[in-house]
Every structure is written in structure tokens, then in C-alpha cells.
Structure 1
């Protein structure tokens, strides 16, 4: 298990992780002040959505099947809409969105490279699962930023057209049990790298050893991940 924690805890607040599609059953965890400064939060959130748009757009070019092209175009458009929404928030604050995102480009591009599979189906599964985990996490952090956080949360809650990807994955695994086994294993491998992105989203310099405080966050994120896997018919 990864250890990420904070050096001081003079104040506590409540961070809520929401499982996608669920109205209740969330876990509330008290933290020290972990939330990064606002532009760090906005820059990472905006660049992540841009990365998903780029990956899905490449998927469109990489398939000859018209129905799949259309499905991926809808999912890519949803990611681009989220990116544009967060960029607008940044611009309205008087900042240059490119400069706000730039410090996170290298690390997030590396994350994207790690989650691109040898086959398109692996990459699509990675987009769906990692976007789900990270949207949940950034929704939790958004509660730290008042009205601006509320705007970003509303953007992140927009329909990501993930159902388009789920349909492709389900058709794939129903056609061949070897695909089911392969994608189940791939889905499990994504968790560690995604949790590291969550770690990097937090305020630098606040990490101390405190497993009991952070453990519920991991538990909830991985629980939501397992539910997404199970809903697609993949063993988690």
C-alpha cells in the first residue's frame, strides 16, 4: 500500500468521495489541509480532460468501424466539453490556462502513456476506469474551493458518455472469454498508477505517515473501481 500523508493537522475538514452514479453510501474522511492551491487543482483537472480527449480522438482514427467511430466521437466530445469548461473557469479568474496547465503536462502525459494498451480495447477501458476514479477524487477536492469548486464540480458531473465505451467493452468480452480475462487483468493493473495521480494532486510538502487517515480514501476509490468493473462483467 502506498503511504501519502501530511506533516501537520491543525485544522480538519471533511472530504467526500462520491461513487459515480450513487446518491448515498459515500465515505466521509477527515483530513488535515491537503487540498492544493487552486491553480494546481484547476491545472491538473483541465489537463486530464484534454488528455482523455486526445486519447479518444486517436481511437477514432485507429478504427475503421463507423459505429465505433461515432461512439468514440461522442465520448471524446464529452471530455473536450469538460476541458473547455474548466479552462473557462481559469480564464475568468484572469489566468492563462496554458500556463496553469503546463507544470502538470509531463507527469500526466507519462500517466497517459502508461495506461495506453497494446490494443484499442485496453486503452478504452483505461480511459473509462481512470476517468471514473479521478473524477471522483477531483469532485472530493472541489469542495475546498467555494464557488469556484462548485463550478468545477458541476463540470465534472456532466455526462462523460462513458456508456459508449462500456458498450464497446461489453461487446468485446461477450465475443471471446480470452478478452474477458485480458481486460480484467488490465483493469486491475490501472489502480496503482491512478492512485499515484491522486497523490500528486494533493498539496506538496504535507505528506507524513498516517495510514489510518488515508486508508478510507483508497478503500472508497478502489470500491468504486470494482463496481465499475463488475458492472461490465469483468472480475475486479
Structure 2
């Protein structure tokens, strides 16, 4: 088990996640009821593809084949999207906000153990281009207009969280080096982050709390 294997796995996961996010958002733009909404979601898709290219290029710099690095994560990431297909515009917005920001939190946690160059690339993927405000505005406006949809969307948000945790467990069980990196047991030689097994539980707690806060921001109950 080595850091090189772990970082290739992690960047492969990030790259495939960004590539599928691009595909999903490009498709979801067709659900938008207005031209402005269509343009906003299409812009989100374009940003995801730009993120994919940055991570792909970093993998190449490390001497890894991007396609081979992404391959182990195709099944669990695809399963997540298959099990969380939005049935309409509002569900697609909630998924974009909850799913993508949950993923960003996960990336941010793991980035602490990366080498500086890889960490910079991952942090670039995390930049908020202002799309979150668009989603929050539209979801809250829809709930204000029809309060009954809040319950359905709250269930949808919880489903997204549950499916994300399920697929994360599948990945951790199959990729030992990546699991060790995420647990803080394996890090770049120049990374001074202290290893602490208790951090795994704390990380999950932070992800769950952040999910609850975002649900509240949308006007939904966690």
C-alpha cells in the first residue's frame, strides 16, 4: 500500500465524479421551465467539465492513465446517479445542491492528506461559482408558493444522503489504499497532518451536520 496508489485512486474518483456531474447537469438543464434556468444549469455543467479536465491533467502529470484511474469508480458513482434520478426540475436542483456540496465536503476532508500540487487541484474543484445561490433561491421560492412540496423534497434530500454514504462504503471496502488515505493513515511525505483514527468518525459527523445545515438553507428538514 502506498501514497502513490492512494492519490491516483482519489484523483480518479474525483475525475469520474466531475465527469458524471457534467453529464447529469447537461441533461438536467432540459428540465428547466425557463430559459434562464436552462442557462444556469448548463453553466453549472460547463464548470464541472472544466474541473474534470484539471483533475485529468493532474493524473497525467503523476504518470497515471486517467481512464484507468477512473475505471474502478464507474460502477459505484453510476449506481449513485441511477438510484437518485430526479423526477423533475426541483428534485434536480436539490440533488445538485445537496449531492454536489456533500461531495465537495468529502473532497475537502481528504485534501488535507494530499501533496501540495494535488491539493491545489482538488481545492480548485471546490470553488463555488455562485450556482448555490441560484438553487437556494428557486427551491425556497417554490416551497413558499406550495408548502406541501417541502415534505417530498426533504425525503428526497435524505435519500441522496443515504445513497451517497452507501456508495462511499462500497468504495472504501474495495480500495484499501484510498480508505487508508481518507482515514489519515496514509498521506504525502510532506503532509504534516497528524494521524488520528478518531478523525474518521469526526469526519462523518461533520459531513452529516453540514448536510443538515444545507437542508435547512433550502427550507427543508433533515
- TM-score norm. by structure 1 comes to 0.76
Does 2:161 match 1:177? no
User: Would you say how many aligned residue pairs link Structure 1 and Structure 2?
Assistant: 201
Counterpart for residue 38 of structure 1 = 7
Q: Single out whichever of 72-81 and 45-54 deviates more from structure 2.
A: 72-81
Deviation at 1:147, TM superposition (A): 1.8
Higher relative contact order (CA 8 A, sep 6+): 1
Which has a greater percent of helix? Answer: 2
Counterpart for residue 74 of structure 2 = 105
Structure 1 runs not aligned, ≥5 long: 1-32
Counterpart for residue 233 of structure 1 = 219
Counterpart for residue 156 of structure 2 = 186
SS of the residue corresponding to residue 148 of structure 2 reads helix
RMSD: 2.5
Does 2:135 match 1:165? yes
Q: Distance in 2 between matches of 1:35 and 1:135?
A: 22
Is residue 56–residue 75 contact of structure 1 (8 Å, CA) maintained in 2? Answer: yes
Deviation at 1:149, TM superposition (A): 3.1
Structure 2 runs not aligned, ≥5 long: 181-196
Q: Distance in 1 between matches of 2:50 and 2:62?
A: 19
Which has a greater percent of strand? Answer: 1
Superposition map of 1:86-165 within 5 A = 86-160=55-129, 161-165=131-135
Instruction: After superposition, give the CA deviation of every residue in 1:87-132 in whole Å (9 maximum; x if it has no partner).
Output: 1111222322122112211211111111212223213211211211
Superposition map of 1:190-209 within 5 A = 190-202=160-172, 203-204=175-176
Does 2:16 match 1:47? yes
